[in-house]
Amino acid sequence: MLYAIISEDVNNSLERRLTARPDHLARLETLRDEGRLVLAGPHPAIDSESPGDAGFSGSLVVAEFDDLESAQAWADADPFVIAGVYAKVTVKPFKRVLP
């Protein structure tokens, strides 16, 4: 089943994001290589694809996991969680309708 992992950043998270980003991306690339990743990306803090120093306000990952417990465990082990990038992470089932 698909699960949405919706994360909200702490204030001024950009430096922490940049430090933890390689490990964060490596985990996402593993999901992609396993054919389980639907989409992933950050929410720019301003209305721009390249927000510069404004940074990001959070992230969204939609991926396939065996169950909610597995999705939550994966989210809890995210390098961004460990680095203190996220203030809050919500994991919930996701039903893809389109496309």
pLDDT digits (tens, 9 = 90+) for 68-92: 999 999 999 999 999 999 999 999 9
Question: Whole-model pTM?
Answer: 0.96
- pLDDT for 79 equals 98
Of 3.30.70.1710, 3.30.70.1060, 3.40.50.300, 1.10.10.10, which CATH number belongs to 17-93?
3.30.70.1060
- pLDDT for 72 equals 98
- pLDDT for 82 equals 97
Alpha-carbon torsion, ordered 86, 71, 26, 83, to 10 deg: 20
Q: Which residues are CB-neighbours of 19 under 8 A, at least 6 positions away?
A: 83
Show the low-confidence residues of the chain (pLDDT under 70).
none
Q: Is 73 helix (H, G, I), strand (E, B) or coil?
A: helix
- Of 33, 20, 32, the closest CA to residue 62 belongs to 32
In the beta sheet, which residues pair with residue 88? Answer: 8
- pLDDT for 16 equals 98
Q: Which residues are CB-neighbours of 64 under 8 A, at least 6 positions away?
A: 1, 2, 3, 36, 37, 38
